[in-house]
Amino acid sequence: MNLPEQGPGGKGGRSTRALSISRLMTLRGLTAIDLGSHEGYNSLDLFESGCASVVGIEIRDRYVEVAREEARKLGYTSVSFLKADVRTIDEQGLGRFDLCLCTGLLYHMQNPFNLLKRIRNICKVMALETHIAPSFLNLFAAGNKYRCNLTWMRRTVTLDGRPFTGRLNVFPPSQDMQKTSGSVVSHSTFWLDQGSLLKALDLAGFRTKAVYFGVTPTGFPDILVDHGRSRTKVFVLAEVKDHDGPPEKVEPGKMEGCPRLVVVA
């Protein structure tokens, strides 16, 4: 398996995500959904860490096949993988899960705010790991891998009628996006900065519990996820404010103020 966030190994330790979440909340008996499940390692780790069932969602056929085969070899009948577009995840009829794991995904969205609103409809708690747009000074502190496609200028765009600030992440026009682990529909995506991410979470209906960005928040334990300025990565634990309420209708995403956020034909 290809493991971008290598864990210590052992049960539930292929990656650092499930082990990190288990330090913040109990996973025993929970239902979970893993968005952008890639080759399934986070889904398998969540199950081994105590979740009663896990559904992995992935849009690339090659990753779905690898994940299903691994679950089959392990005999994990309570871990399943579906090919689906996360941009309409609340329209897939999957119900509401105790936990949503969203890692390595939000920054691949043209409209991350729209996705957060949809995630709000399918879970009670979300564990979010994502890159954020660094400030100008922190742009130089970030590793080249994480800043090479970011625009130098920050900009404000309007997502679903709300203004957010961040940076565009732009792949070369010649790049075949199907061969990347990023967006399959656009060469340009929008990275929210930290302030706009927290704003988007609040407006989407989440209550932020803990934010890890270079330091451990007061009253919370250290986690294994490598967060901070050098990787422009933040880890957030958030709960839905009204998770017992009915799902809210989410309209198709609208993006204004940025003509480069266009879908690949």
CB 131 within 8 A of CB 232: yes
Q: Bigger pLDDT: 23 or 175?
A: 23
Q: Bigger pLDDT: 182 or 48?
A: 48
The pLDDT of residue 26 is above 50: yes
Amino acid at 120: R
| pLDDT, position 139 | 85
DSSP H/E element including 21 = helix 17-22
Backbone angles phi, psi at 72, to 5 degrees: -65, -45
Span of 17-21, 33-37, 184-188, 239-243 with lowest mean pLDDT: 184-188
Section 136-149 average pLDDT: 80
Using DSSP, state whether 252 is helix, strand or coil: coil
Q: CB under 8 Å, gap of 24 or more: what pairs does 200-203 form?
A: 200/112, 200/113, 200/116, 200/159, 200/162, 200/164, 201/116, 201/236, 201/238, 203/113, 203/162
The pLDDT of residue 227 is above 60: yes
CB atoms closer than 10 angstroms to residue 140: 10
| pLDDT, position 20 | 97
| pLDDT, position 55 | 98
| pLDDT, position 133 | 94
Using DSSP, state whether 196 is helix, strand or coil: helix
Name the band, by pLDDT with cuts 50, 70 and 90, for residue 141.
confident
Q: Write the pLDDT tens digit of every residue in 172-215.
A: 766 666 666 566 667 788 999 999 999 999 999 999 999 999 99
Distance CA 81, CA 115 (A): 20
Q: Return mean pLDDT, the chain.
A: 90
Name the band, by pLDDT with cuts 50, 70 and 90, for residue 264.
very low
The pLDDT of residue 168 is above 80: yes
CA 7 to chain centroid: 18
Q: CB under 8 Å, gap of 24 or more: what pairs does 243-246 form?
A: 243/96, 243/123, 243/124
The pLDDT of residue 44 is above 70: yes
Q: Write the pLDDT tens digit of every residue in 84-132.
A: 999 999 999 999 999 999 999 999 999 999 999 999 999 999 999 999 9
| pLDDT, position 99 | 98
